[in-house]
Amino acid sequence: MTSPADPLHPDDDLTAAEIDLGIGLDDDLTVEERVEFELEQRRGLRRVPGITTELEDVTEVEYRQLRLERVVLVGVWTTETLIEAETSLQELKALAETAGSQVLEGVVQRRDRPDPATYIGSGKARELRDIVLATGADTVICDGELTPGQLRQLEDIVKVKVIDRTALILDIFAQHARSKEGKAQVELAQMQYMLPRLRGWGESLSRQAGGRVAGGGGIGTRGPGETKIETDRRRIRNRMAKLRREIAGMSTARDTKRQERRRNSVPSVVIAGYTNAGKSSLLNRLTNAGVLVENALFATLDPTVRRGMTPDGRPFTFTDTVGFVRHLPHQLVEAFRSTLEEVDSADLVLHVVDGSHPDPGAQLAAVREVFADIGAVGMTELIVVNKTDIADPAVVERLRRDEPHVALVSALTGEGLDELQQRISDLLPRPDVDVSLLVPYDRGDVVSRIHEHGEVLSVTHTDKGTRIDARVPQPLAGDLADFALLHSG
C-alpha cells in the first residue's frame, strides 16, 4: 500500500479540483504554509487516473497489424490548470493509441517551465526511469516538442526510446497518408523534424582521414573531408528540395482545377475542424461521398472534393480537409500548406466542433490558430456543432451564445442536417447579374449551363429559340453576351 509520503501521491486525500483550486487549504494557510504546499506539489510526478489502455480482445491487436509498443506518457504542468494538463495528457493517450501503442501509465510534473536539459528535471527523470522499469515500458512519450539536447539527455537517463508529441503526430500522419501528395507532404515534414536531430556515436560518424596518431592512412590521405552526419544532412536537404518541387507540381494541378471551378462560378465549401470531430461523417451524410470514417485521430489526410446542391438547386463543391490538433507541428502546417490553402479560397468554411468534448472552445481556438498560420482570415465561417445527441446542453448553449453563426447537427442520427443545408444556401454567394437570353434550339449546352450555374426565373419557347430570363454569375454573363436580348425588345 502506498504511503502518504509517496512522491507519486503527494495529495491522496484531496480531489483534483481541490488541488487545482486550493479549496480547503489555501483559504486558511499562512504565506509560509502556502509556499510549502506549492513546493509539495512540485516534489513528485503526479499519476493521471484512467490513462492506461484497455484492450477489449485480441482482435483489436490483430486489427492494428503491428506489435504494440508499451509506452509511458509524461507531461509538464506549467501555466494551465491541472484539469487542462490532464486533458492534454488524455489527448496524448488517444494519439499514442492511434499510432498503435499500449499506454501503461501517464504522469504530469508541476514546473514553471520545462527543464532545458531533461524536460522534467534530472531527479524526476530518475523517478520516470523507475516507472519505466516497474511497468516494463519500452518507450516514453513527452507531451511537448523536445529539443535535440533534451531528447538525448532524457534517453540517457531512462534508458529507453524517448519521442515527443511532434514525432508521434508525424508517425500517425505517415501511417494514414494514402495519396502520392499526402505521402510526399508527410515525408517532407518528417525530414524537417529529423534534420536538426541527427546524431551518432564513435568512428561511424567520421569519414575524414587523419595522421598516424588519429589512426588515419598517413601521407596522401589527409585533407578536407566530410563527416557521416554532414553526408546524411546533405542527402536529407537534397531529398527535401526534390519533395518541395514535387509538391509544388501537384499543387499546380489542384490550383488549375480550383481556377476552373471559379471560372464557372461554382461556390466552394470547405469542411475544417479538430481531428475526430466528425468531418468525414458529416461529408458522407451530406453528399454520400463514401469517405473513410474511423473513430481515430487523423483518419483523413487527403482532401476529398465532392459535389453538393443547395435546397434551391444551386451547385457547389464540398472539400474535406485534414483535421487539426492542439500544438500541431509547424513542420506539418508548412508541408500541408498547399492543401490547407483550400480554406483560404473557400466561399464558406464549415468549422466542425465536437459538441461532446469537455472543452470545445479550446478546439475552436486551436483550429483558428492554424488558420492564422496559413493566412486564412476574414472568410465566412459557420460553426457546426456535431454529436449533439450526446453533447452537454449547457456546453452547446454556450457555443450558440459565443459564436455568430452556429448550426447544431448529429452526423450519426441525421438531426439538424436539413437546417444545416439551408444555412449553407443562405451563406453562399448568389448569382448577381440578371440576363434575358434567346438561345437557339441547337444550343442545348448553353441552356444546361444556365440551369447548372444560375437561377432560372422563366422559360418561354418561341419560333426562334428558347427565351430564358435568369440570374447568373458575372463571369457566365460575359460568356452569354452573344445570346442576350435588348430589354426594349
**What's the rounded mean pLDDT across residues 188-195?**
89
Share of the chain above pLDDT 90, in %: 26
Question: How many CB atoms are closer than 10 A to CB 35?
Answer: 11
Asked whether the beta carbons of 463 and 381 are under 8 A apart, the reply is no
For residue 337 the three cell numbers come to: 500548406
**What's the rounded mean pLDDT across residues 270-298?**
76
- Per-residue model confidence (pLDDT) at position 208: 46
Residue 2 has pLDDT above 50, yes or no: no
Pairing of strands 69-77, 46-47: unpaired
Q: What residues contact residue 476 under an 8 Å CB cut-off, 6+ apart?
A: 264, 265, 431, 433, 449, 450, 453, 454
- Per-residue model confidence (pLDDT) at position 53: 67
The rounded mean pLDDT for the chain is 78
Pairing of strands 433-439, 139-142: unpaired
Which pTM does this prediction carry? 0.69
**For residue 100, which of 156, 136, 141, 151 has the smallest C-alpha distance?**
141
Residue 320 has pLDDT above 50, yes or no: yes
For residue 285 the three cell numbers come to: 451524410
Q: What is the pLDDT of residues 323-340, one digit of tens each?
A: 788 877 877 787 777 667
Question: How many CB atoms are closer than 10 A to CB 377?
Answer: 9
- Per-residue model confidence (pLDDT) at position 324: 80
**For residue 142, which of 358, 132, 133 has the smallest C-alpha distance?**
132
- Per-residue model confidence (pLDDT) at position 62: 41
- Per-residue model confidence (pLDDT) at position 155: 92
For residue 167 the three cell numbers come to: 514525432
**What's the rounded mean pLDDT across residues 203-228?**
50
Q: What is the pLDDT of residues 344-374, one digit of tens each?
A: 778 899 999 999 988 888 889 888 988 888 7
**What's the rounded mean pLDDT across residues 113-118?**
92
Report for 1-10, 65-74, 163-172, 468-477: range of highest mean pLDDT: 163-172
Phi/psi at 392 (5° precision): -75, 120
Asked whether the beta carbons of 467 and 436 are under 8 A apart, the reply is yes
**What's the rounded mean pLDDT across residues 19-26?**
42
CA distance 168 to 99: 7
| Distance (Å) of CA 40 to CA 26, 126, 139, 438, 455 | 13, 18, 28, 85, 70
If you compute the radius of gyration of the chain from its CA atoms, what whole number of angstroms results?
A: 29
DSSP 375-394: T--S--EEEEEE-TTSS-HH
**For residue 173, which of 270, 274, 302, 72 has the smallest C-alpha distance?**
302
Q: Which band of pLDDT confidence, cut at 50, 70 and 90, is reported for residue 302?
A: low
- Per-residue model confidence (pLDDT) at position 215: 47
33-37, 159-163, 287-291: least confident range: 33-37
**For residue 38, which of 19, 12, 17, 13 has the smallest C-alpha distance?**
19
Q: Which band of pLDDT confidence, cut at 50, 70 and 90, is reported for residue 176?
A: confident
Q: Which band of pLDDT confidence, cut at 50, 70 and 90, is reported for residue 219?
A: low
DSSP 299-322: ---S-EEEEEE-TTS-EEEEEE--
The distance from CA 255 to its chain's CA centroid, rounded to whole angstroms, is: 22
CA distance 144 to 345: 32
Q: Which residue(s) pair with 386 in the sheet? A: 354
Asked whether the beta carbons of 5 and 40 are under 8 A apart, the reply is no
